[in-house]
Amino acid sequence: MNTEERKNLRQLDELVLNASPEELEKIQKIDYQTQLDGESFYHIYINSDSLIPPSIKKS
């Protein structure tokens, strides 16, 4: 795993750990759907700016 991947995983961890109950419900639905589609939540996360709250900036 390279540095960029570690950074993305850390940001995803922060997103989940700091999410409100409503945000966690949305994350859970997205995660469930990605699993049904045969994809991973991580890959959807790193390719989507819409999942990132303003408090977590991706560079």
Count CB atoms within 10 A of the CB of residue 45.
21
Q: How confident is the model at residue 57 (pLDDT cuts 50, 70, 90)?
A: very low
Alpha helices per DSSP H over the chain: 3-17, 21-36, 41-46
What residues make up the domain containing 30?
3-49
pLDDT digits (tens, 9 = 90+) for 6-47: 988 898 899 889 999 998 888 888 889 888 888 888 887 777
Domain membership flag for residue 15: yes
Domain membership flag for residue 54: no
Domain membership flag for residue 25: yes
Domain membership flag for residue 10: yes
Taking the C-alpha atoms of residue 13 and residue 18, their distance in angstroms, rounded to an integer, is 8
Rounded to two decimals, the pTM is: 0.65
Structure-derived torsion over alpha carbons of residues 14, 57, 28, 43, reported in degrees to the nearest 10: -100
